[in-house]
Amino acid sequence: MTPPAPLHQAAAPLKILFVTPEVRPVVQTGGLADVSAALPAALRRLGVDVRILLPGYRAAVGERKKMRLCARIGDIPEHGEVRLLSAGLPHSDVPLLLVDYPIYYDREGGPYLDAEGHEWPDNAWRFGLFSHVAARLGSAGSPLAWRPDIVHCNDWQSALAPALMHFMPGRTAATLMTVHNLAYQGVFAPQFATRLGLPASSFHMQGVEYYGRFSFLKAGLYYADHLSTVSPTYAEEIQSEPLGFGLQGLLAARKQALTGILNGVDAERWNPASDPFLPAPFGPGHWDGKQANKTALQQTLGLEVRPDRPILGVVSRLTPQKGLDLLLAAAPRLLETPVQIAMVGNGDRDLERDWLALQARHPGAVAAHIGFDERLSHLVEAGADIFVMPSRFEPCGLNQMYSQLYGTPPVVHATGGLADTVVDATASAVQAGEATGFVFREMTARALEHALLRALDAYRDEHTWRRLQLNGMSRDFSWDHSARGYLALYRSILAARPHPPARIECSAVLP
């Protein structure tokens, strides 16, 4: 006799291919690498079967421990054999798939730029191939037995995949295109549209054409089933000038399919009570630790060791986006109050020079550490008194969240995720016990200076300052919350598809 069928069949876990050009600790230029490590891990904790697809950069392949060849793909136009390697991320249970194509990815330098800071000249090919592999893994022609329900693309480097999938015959996975920064779009000469495998008809305003050129990001935004970005305010801002960067019309037209989900903070890496990078752990009630970190920061960066001097901290990519030109302009007057400034960052050569010049003019009061240094970034968050983030635009921003958790109230411009995560210390917000920092609206050095002077006033009032610190330290920025938002979004994307995604039979399973 056949046993009765169970009333509730356990639902198969959702399968997500998370396609990203950077993931920490393997390769990082900014917050996308943090997100690409933490979000998949949080999704896995919620029972989602998520796997990451990354280009096989030298650093990724060099760090492989248990890596194995899991597939070969031989028929991508204009390319020889592409190998798919399977690896793992350190301290993570999220499987990692690497697109192994040494002439594109096995080189010295950064993932997008060479050692001199210039774009790699073959970036259209490098990320075109990357997108092709993502699209293939989400289609009936995948060489893997594992088939994603959704191909989740992140930023322009993977944004061709939704367009390629749109034109594929047969059923494909659904697609989600997440924008972490609309300022980077991957715009190339028009002929790349067809050379990278798209039909000529797609090179159109209603398609991948962007002011006469070919845009990877527009391809993703136009063809993906759903779009998301990393804060609710940024999701609104990109639907109009100036933050739409020429794509506002398309984004406004697709606003029903556009969702803003705030990033979170990796609580294991960013906890002042257990942070291995700090000489002295601390927390509410253990303020000596914070003071010890301040001393360590002053010593490490060559600042005068003065417990009484408030330190303004900065950790940032140095690009016009981050608005640090405003701080450079306001610095001479602020330094008279007096304060110290501790800046850790790298990027644009001109901004690096400006910071070094400011340091040279104010030895012992300004420290500019040019470089990417994880340990120092933690020490600044912990040892500074006030964190400064005057970004012109900020899709989400992570440092202002870290600084709140580290008892270092941030001063931020009211934009994107900064507006969504920092509660301005107005009299009523302080009274209500909700204030966590200082927000300014006008993008001028004067407005920043004014906000910093407000912060310095509050700093001198010990009681108010403690309240601000404690409010910030008790904020819940956990990834768990954001991951639930993505899970709900994945489900709604699948529910909105005209047909449920097919369980495609695999044609060939390679070892």
Whether residue 318 contacts residue 327, with contact meaning beta carbons closer than 8 Å, is answered with no
Residue (67 or 238) nearer to ligand ADP, CB: 238
Q: How far is the C-alpha of 295 from the C-alpha of 313, rounded, in Å?
A: 14
- With CB under 6 A as the contact rule, the residue among 137, 144, 230, 251 that binds ligand GLC is 230
- With CB under 6 A as the contact rule, the residue among 17, 18, 26, 30 that binds ligand ADP is 30
List the single partner that 175 binds among ligand ADP, ligand GLC, none, CB under 5 to 8 Å by kind.
Answer: none
Q: Report the DSSP pairing between strands 366-370 and 68-73.
A: unpaired
Q: In sequence order, what are the beta bridge partners of 440?
A: 413
* Least spacing, CB of residue 74 vs ligand GLC, in Å: 34
Structure token digits, residue 166: 């749109």
Q: DSSP labels for 125-166?
A: HHHHHHHHHHHHHTBTT-SSS---SEEEEESGGGTHHHHHHH
Whether residue 260 contacts residue 235, with contact meaning beta carbons closer than 8 Å, is answered with yes
**396 makes contact with ligand GLC (CB under 6 A):** yes
Q: Choose the binding region for ligand ADP from 184-192, 274-282, 372-380, 486-494 (rule: CB under 6 A).
A: 372-380
List the single partner that 323 binds among ligand ADP, ligand GLC, none, CB under 5 to 8 Å by kind.
Answer: none
**372 makes contact with ligand ADP (CB under 6 A):** yes
Q: How far is the C-alpha of 337 from the C-alpha of 151, rounded, in Å?
A: 52
* Least spacing, CB of residue 38 vs ligand ADP, in Å: 10
Residue (340 or 408) nearer to ligand GLC, CB: 408
Interface with ligand GLC in residues 178-217 (CB under 6 A): 180-181
Nearest-CA neighbor of 263 among 179, 174, 375? Answer: 179
Q: Choose the binding region for ligand ADP from 45-53, 280-288, 291-299, 311-319 (rule: CB under 6 A).
A: 311-319
Q: How many CB atoms lie within 10 A of CB 321?
A: 18
Helix (H, G, I), strand (E, B) or coil at 347: strand
How many Cα neighbours within 13 Å face the side chain of 292? 11
* Least spacing, CB of residue 179 vs ligand GLC, in Å: 9
- With CB under 6 A as the contact rule, the residue among 20, 263, 377, 403 that binds ligand GLC is 263
Whether residue 297 contacts residue 383, with contact meaning beta carbons closer than 8 Å, is answered with yes
**34 makes contact with ligand ADP (CB under 6 A):** yes
Residue (81 or 480) nearer to ligand GLC, CB: 480
Residue (76 or 159) nearer to ligand ADP, CB: 159
Interface with ligand ADP in residues 38-77 (CB under 6 A): none
Whether residue 366 contacts residue 360, with contact meaning beta carbons closer than 8 Å, is answered with no
Q: How far is the C-alpha of 156 from the C-alpha of 133, rounded, in Å?
A: 15
Interface map 381-400 toward ligand ADP (x if CB under 6 A): ---------------xxxx-
Interface with ligand ADP in residues 318-357 (CB under 6 A): 344-346
- Report, in angstroms and rounded to the nearest whole number, the Rg of the chain calculated over CA atoms: 24
* Least spacing, CB of residue 30 vs ligand GLC, in Å: 4
- With CB under 6 A as the contact rule, the residue among 100, 209, 381, 394 that binds ligand GLC is 394
List the single partner that 352 binds among ligand GLC, ligand ADP, none, CB under 5 to 8 Å by kind.
Answer: none
Cα→Cα distances 316→37, 133, 423, Å: 19, 32, 21
**233 makes contact with ligand ADP (CB under 6 A):** no
* Least spacing, CB of residue 480 vs ligand GLC, in Å: 17
Q: Report the DSSP pairing between strands 213-215 and 187-188.
A: antiparallel
Q: Choose the binding region for ligand ADP from 86-94, 145-153, 295-303, 368-376 (rule: CB under 6 A).
A: 368-376
Whether residue 395 contacts residue 209, with contact meaning beta carbons closer than 8 Å, is answered with no
Interface map 6-45 toward ligand GLC (x if CB under 6 A): ------------------------xxx--x----------
Q: How far is the C-alpha of 411 from the C-alpha of 424, rounded, in Å?
A: 9
Ramachandran region, residue 44 (left: φ > 0; alpha: ψ -120 to 50; beta: rest): alpha
Nearest-CA neighbor of 294 among 272, 310, 271, 274? Answer: 310
Residues binding ligand GLC: what is the number (CB under 6 A)?
14
Residue (148 or 409) nearer to ligand ADP, CB: 409
Residue (358 or 396) nearer to ligand ADP, CB: 396
Q: Choose the binding region for ligand ADP from 30-38, 277-285, 468-476, 481-489 (rule: CB under 6 A).
A: 30-38
**236 makes contact with ligand ADP (CB under 6 A):** no
Q: How far is the C-alpha of 29 from the C-alpha of 477, rounded, in Å?
A: 22
Q: In sequence order, what are the beta bridge partners of 421?
A: none
Nearest-CA neighbor of 407 among 383, 376, 373? Answer: 383
- With CB under 6 A as the contact rule, the residue among 55, 260, 395, 409 that binds ligand GLC is 395
**Dihedrals phi, psi of 68, to nearest 5 degrees:** -145, 155
Alpha helices in 155-239 (DSSP H): 160-166, 192-195, 216-223, 232-237
What residues make contact with ligand GLC under the rule CB under 6 A? 30-32, 35, 180-181, 230, 263, 394-398, 417
What residues make contact with ligand ADP under the rule CB under 6 A? 30-32, 34, 315-317, 344-346, 372-374, 377, 396-399
